[in-house]
Amino acid sequence: MTVHYEVEGPVAVVTIDRPDARNAVDRPTADALVDAFSRFEADDALAVAVLTGAHGTFCAGADLKAMSEPGGERINRVALDGDGPMGPTRRVLAKPVIAAVEGHAVAGGLELALWCDLRIADDTARFGCLERRWGVPLIDGGTQRLPRVVGLGRALDLILTGRTAAADEALAIGLVNEVVAAGAHVGRALELAETIAAFPQETMLSDREAALAAQGLPLADGLALEARLGRDRVTGALEGARRFRVGS
């Protein structure tokens, strides 16, 4: 089994486990990731997911060895309107996902981390578009999500040069949200996930939807979207105000 799925309270933990390939993703692993996150999204008891990798590596990207084997082109070809080569990267989930990163998150592994809402890295983490060296395109959302996360200039630096950024640089440019000591990444991600899961979910998810859906919209359109989604959550807001008033 190359993808493990565990539940810890309101949190699903999804772990890529292909030690011989540094957690590179082949087609069966991509399909297993899709299945894992479909399972998470369908489970109303779960509020947040954590995506991580086993054996000291987050993910080394797509499995280029598998892609280069006879039949690999057919196996790895994915329709433009289907799931990505790395799995769920063309899906927008209704619930948040946190990447817990140690070691290399490169090429498609970086794209998987960017697909997540938040990224917690330990101080061994390394990020980069290493597919640049092999003439492989970013096709799992990297060209779209990286500029949204770090800005166009910094994104182009990583995309064009294929260089690797260490954890401290990733934090400085906003690629990751927090850096922790080696080995503490999953624990911190779980702690953060449990904090998010403890909030009233309806309004938290509505605010997340507004932030994500407004990317690229003119400000006036984004404000209109925020207002519409907010109006739909008035009942929950009034209940929250009542609890605040009585100190509960």
Task: Look up tokens 């503490």; give the residue.
Answer: 184
pLDDT on residue 66 = 74
* Topology, domain 3-197: 2-enoyl-CoA Hydratase; Chain A, domain 1 (3.90.226)
Told to judge if 178 belongs to the known catalytic residues of this protein, a careful annotator would answer no
pLDDT per position as a tens digit, 65-111:
876 555 455 444 554 557 899 999 999 999 999 999 999 999 999 99
What does the mean pLDDT of the chain come to? 91
Which is catalytic among the residues 41, 69, 73, 131? 131
First to last CA, the chain: 45
Shortest CA distance to 170 belongs to which of 191, 181, 155?
155
Told to judge if 226 belongs to the known catalytic residues of this protein, a careful annotator would answer no
Domain ranges of the chain: 3-197, 201-246
Which is catalytic among the residues 111, 191, 202, 239? 111
Do 113 and 58 touch, CB atoms closer than 8 A? yes
Could you tell me the pLDDT band of residue 246, with boundaries at 50, 70 and 90?
A: low
Could you tell me the pLDDT band of residue 61, with boundaries at 50, 70 and 90?
A: very high
Global model pTM greater than 0.85? yes
HSE toward the beta carbon, residue 66, CA cutoff 13 A: 19
